[in-house]
Amino acid sequence: MTPELDAARTAVDEELSAWLGEALREAEPIADPIRHAVLAPGKRIRPLLMISAWEAARGSERNGGNGRPPSLYRLALGPELVHAYSLIHDDLPCMDDDDLRRGRPTLHVRYGERVAILAGAVLQPLAVRAVGDGAAGLELSDGVTARLIVTLARASGGSGMVGGQLLDLLAEREDVSFGTLERIHLGKTARLIAACCTMGAVAARASAETVDRLTRFGLAIGLAFQTVDDILDVTGSSHRMGKIGGRDEALGKATTPSLLGLAGARDRAEQLGREAFRELAPFPAAHRLREIGRLILERDR
């Protein structure tokens, strides 16, 4: 990660901590479990994608030296909070039953299963609140704000992340086709990542063509993200990843390596990366999106 992108991630972390301090002021005793889960060290790929898509959609001339408005960081917290909720629930004993996440004990291990379920539930309305607060700070219209919230909701729900997670569970120890695997990956990972790019473009008041291109970039790089995740579960170090490796095989999950082999999975990730980067060709200010794309493809955790 370049110093510039690392600085943006630090700014996201600072906004996340400050905003949660405000939003959870009267939320004891659930506040501490939420902070444990949300403020654990993370890559913050989703908020960085939204911010970078906003920059790409505005263009280098319009972006100029004004930098990013502070409220853009608040808007970008929405997908990160949804992602955090998904990790809490994904780790539960009734789901993937993991004990380690981002180098820390998972929430149900630290606080108990009932608290973990409720903390995940709280993060969903918090995500909507963050989007609303960010949109208000950016002085976006009610119509644009509604579009942002609907985009996040669709990517998070039955046709997106939650639906994909259920398909993933139902496919355990089953013979599935590559088409079914891609449907799982689109739902549980790629659609939320794509929503970040969509939301960044919508917040920048971009044209329909720009929104479509950045959404397609997000879908391709989101599929690549999950493909690399599958590879790392086989090859990665638990210490580096901050979670226990080999869980996919232990649970009998359908993964890209299990269907295509490691070499085939790596080829698929590279193909998806090429598809994603092609969508960025018209955007002179998309260098940060390209950097995040390379980070996704080359990561070791």
The CATH code of the domain that includes 56 is 1.10.600.10
Identify the band that residue 59 occupies on the pLDDT scale cut at 50, 70 and 90. Answer: confident
The two structure tokens encoding residue 204: 């920048």
Give CA–CA dist 301/293, Å, rounded: 15
For residue 65, is pLDDT > 60?
A: no
pLDDT of residue 263: 97
Give CA–CA dist 208/201, Å, rounded: 9
Which pTM value belongs to this model?
A: 0.93
**How many domains is the chain built from?**
1
Mean pLDDT over the full length of the chain: 93
pLDDT of residue 239: 52
Give CA–CA dist 94/165, Å, rounded: 12
Higher pLDDT, 241 or 244: 244
Question: Each residue of 167-188: b (16+ CB within 10 Å) or e?
Answer: bbbebeeeebeeebbbbbbbbb
- Mean pLDDT of all residues in 195-211: 98
- Mean pLDDT of all residues in 110-136: 97
The domain in which residue 174 lies consists of 3-298
Higher pLDDT, 205 or 252: 205
Q: Provide the percentage of residues in the chain whose pLDDT is more than 90.
A: 85
Residues 145-169: tens digit of each pLDDT = 999 999 999 999 999 999 999 999 9
For residue 237, is pLDDT > 90?
A: no
